[in-house]
Amino acid sequence: MPGTLFVVATPIGNLEDITARALRVLRQVALIAAEDTRRTGHLLARYAITTPTTSFHEHNEAAKIRSVMARLERGDEVALVSDAGTPTISDPGQRLVRAAIDAGIRVEPIPGASAAVTALAASGIAGQSFTFLGFPPSKGKDREAWMTELRNAGRTVVFYEAPHRIKETLSQIARLVGNRQVAVGRELTKTHEEFVRGPINTVIDELHNILGEFTVVIDIGQTTDIEPVEPPTDSEIADLFGQMTIVSGLPRRRVINQIAKRYGIPPNQIYDTIERVKRLGVTTEKTRP
């Protein structure tokens, strides 16, 4: 009688975020197929689990399927785990699951943590329906196709991004769909967990610690067919700054923040524009603070 392939979700950061059922399964199986045996080893050591592990990642998945399937076919139980979160969700394992299903082997999911759902739950953005797009391709036609899919989603979109590309990706999305509301989660459930929420351009300006893993939730909504609004010119920003400071009597910083919010431009960019216009000597009296 063939064994069972357990697809086991593991913590995305905090090692306490693992279910009692997952721990039981990891103890009882004959083998754990792990994306990174060293990382999984930390989890197993924490809970004194001594089950043997074997590496199973995107670079050896095709070669390892045969040996794992052989274990399953002779009756062994095998647990599939990724580095963190739920296997096959932007992680390796889908081909093994498909092979097991095709061979008539039972596949049993052990639910648990998922960075996408964790970020969505704390985003403050509608989650009744959403599209998950994984990691955006880094360049070329694949990236263009990914951006088009995001633009046409018409609902909340969740995706992952690497730290060295997070600002570039958010800037490209803002140019494509406008300055939408976004929640960016960093290092979820870990000691330095951080959420930055607000219009895309404001969030970009507030992303100072570009380290760790990022999960992005963005409200695409139903208006992706609207043409992007032309950004204001430097002189228009300077004139508006002068008018608002004279009429309202508000402090410079508050006026800059209000202009930034109106146009969806980071406050520091508004400040730089005003200073640049002043240096060029083209300000009017009303634009001089």
Quick: pLDDT tens for 74-105: 999 999 999 999 999 988 899 999 999 999 99
pLDDT tens for 150-186 read 999 999 999 999 999 999 999 999 989 989 999 999 9
3-state SS, the chain, equals CCCEEEEECECCCCCCCCCHHHHHHHHHCCEEEECCHHHHHHHHHHCCCCCCEEECCCCCHHHHHHHHHHHHHCCCCEEEECCCECCCCCCCCHHHHHHHHHCCCEEEEECCCCHHHHHHHCCCCCCCCEEECCCCCCCHHHHHHHHHHHHCCCCEEEEEECCCCHHHHHHHHHHHHCCCEEEEEECCCCCCCEEEEEEHHHHHHHCCCCCCCEEEEEECCCCCCCCCCCCCCHHHHHHHHHHHHHHHCCCHHHHHHHHHHHHCCCHHHHHHHHHHHHHHCCCCHHHCC
Give pLDDT tens digits for 89-146: 988 899 999 999 999 999 999 999 999 999 999 999 998 999 999 999 988 899 999 9
> How would residue 265 be classed by pLDDT, with cut points 50, 70 and 90?
confident
| Confidence tier at 225 by pLDDT (50, 70, 90) | very low
Claim: this prediction has a pTM higher than 0.85: no
